[in-house]
Amino acid sequence: MSLTTTTHLNFTGQARAALEFYQSVFGGHLTIATYADFGMPKDAPGADGVVFGSVVADNGFRVMAYDIPGRAPAPAGSAEVTTRRENGTTITSEPFFLAVEGASLEEVETHWAQLAVDATVIEPLAASAWSAGFGMLADRFDVTWTFSVARPQA
């Protein structure tokens, strides 16, 4: 038996745009089903919202998302992310972030550069004590991501 975990992101009207953006960054197959697809009258408010969405890529990237029913879209940049430096380390108030780890700095830099468009960089992608490259950003949908290069196996 094996288990797989998949991050499921909750949005307020931006799930489709976020999933399309993540597919453009990481590749893979995009699946989107709306509330109308599952029987809600097409002219009802929120019928075009995403009830099930995912991006699944051959490189191992996998994310799911939906639009919370009955919630009005939040204005862009509305999530409050606070950060502070403590003993040379960036501390963030985010309750979670998505961690992306690549085999090489070049692989990580490619995805970082694409996801960083219109993002808030919390910690620039750079060499660290534990990785050839580590960085943290909040993307245009206020989702926080960390990027790192895997350590070579001994």
**What CATH fold (topology level) applies to the domain 7-67?**
3.30.720
Architecture of domain 83-149: 2-Layer Sandwich (3.30)
- pLDDT of amino acid 3: 64
Predicted TM-score of the model (pTM): 0.80
- pLDDT of amino acid 88: 60
**Rounded mean pLDDT of 33-61?**
93
Range of lowest pLDDT (20-24, 27-31, 39-43): 39-43
Give the residue extent of every domain in the chain.
7-67, 83-149
Mean per-residue pLDDT over the chain, rounded: 85
pLDDT by residue (tens digit) across 55-91? 999 999 999 999 998 766 554 444 444 455 656 655 5
Predicted confidence (pLDDT) at residue 141 exceeds the cutoff of 90: yes
Question: Residue 152's pLDDT band (boundaries 50, 70, 90)?
Answer: confident
Q: At what angle do helices 105-115 and 15-26 cross, to 10 degrees?
A: 150
DSSP secondary structure letters along 59-125: TS-EEEEEEPTTPPPPPTT-S---EEEETTEEEE--S--EEEEESSHHHHHHHHHHHTTT-EEEEEE
